[in-house]
Copies of this chain bind each other. A is one copy, B any other.
Amino acid sequence: MFEQLGLIGCGLMGGSFALALKRAGLVKRVVGYSKSPSTTERARQMGVIDVEAPSALLAVSGADIVLLAVPVAATEATLKAIRHLVSKDMLIMDVGSTKRDVIDAGRRVLRDHVGSFVPCHPIAGKEVSGVENADVDLYVGKQVIVTPIDRTQPEQLQRAVDVWQKLQCNVVQMAPEAHDAAFAAVSHLPHLIAFALVNGIASQTRAEDFLTLAGPGFRDFTRIAASEPKMWRDILLANRQELLEQSQVFQRTLKAMEAMIEAGNADALEGFITQASQLRANWRMGPKKG
């Protein structure tokens, strides 16, 4: 049980965390701060937070648990804003989709207190953002990746794991580098491709006619192209090295398929599609069972 959650960023991710923490009876009060005062006010009106803080620092004042729910590129500035009140006993977590850059920011800014910071990535989200879409069930049944470093305090790591588990999440621990490589492959690259596909179509004179004919396949394939631009700008830039490597693997594979199609090599093409089809048909979201 925590006394006070200092919530920095009262949007979809932060707001949903506050609601879930309250419902689970894990916190007495939530003090929230958002860059936009109207967001903070709206969060209080909605009961997502109890008290509006006029600054990130004041949201942390008196907090024993802090959640950074800001775009990953804002992590360093946010940590700078709160570092004077960060203590050894405080649990600080983030929810960023990239981890190495966030950890680097933590090391640079928090220095001796970096052990209080437990980098987290809950695999949850929506295409809509903002506190208006905060959802007490957003994290239920989802995976949360925690990527501690050598200097992470074991007690704080344990507390972080406990919190997410009490919110009904499956917690997976891994190295930050492995995390970033994996998410480049299964999340960041699909987003990059979806953005490129939609804009590639839009660049053509017949775009409007094309889009009128698009069906359920297009709808699902491009759903992630509607994601929040600033957030994804930051993620793609933060994880650029792994992302560009994964994009190369993808483009090599695409070119191999194109060569089969150009050559009319039906057998090779069928074998290739069969491999993808079987793999995808047998894939299930979530951690391996057994």
Contact = CB atoms under 8 A, between A and B. Distances in A.
Contacts of A246: 200
Contacts of A280: 194, 198, 222-223, 225-226
Given A233-B270, A244-B261, A251-B251, A221 B224 contact: yes
A27 interface: no
A187 B261 contact: no
Contacts of A142: 215
Contacts of A145: 213
A275 B221 CA distance: 17
B221 A221 contact: yes
A199 interface: yes
Contacts of A221: 190, 193-194, 220-221, 223-224
A260 to B, nearest CB: 9
Given A240-B261, A276-B194, A253 B200 contact: yes
Contacts of A26: none
Given A240-B261, A261-B244, A214 B187 contact: yes
B273 A261 contact: no
Q: Is the interface of A mostly helix, strand, loop or mixed?
A: helix
A190 B196 CA distance: 11
Interface string A257-284: 1100110101001101111110111010
A195 B225 contact: no
Contact of A183 (B208, B213, B219, B258): B213
Contacts of A229: 270, 273-274, 277
A285 interface: yes
Given A266-B237, A277-B229, A254 B192 contact: yes
Contacts of A185: 201, 204, 210
* A192, A217, A266, A287 pick with most chain B CB within 10 angstroms: A217
B182 A276 contact: no
Given A193-B197, A226-B280, 15 more contacts: A172-B213, A182-B206, A187-B215, A190-B197, A190-B217, A193-B254, A195-B277, A196-B276, A199-B272, A202-B276, A202-B279, A217-B223, A230-B270, A233-B266, A244-B262
B220 A191 contact: no
Among A123, A254, A266, residue most surrounded by chain B Cβ atoms (within 10 Å) = A254
Given A199-B276, A225-B277, A269 B182 contact: no
B269 A186 contact: no
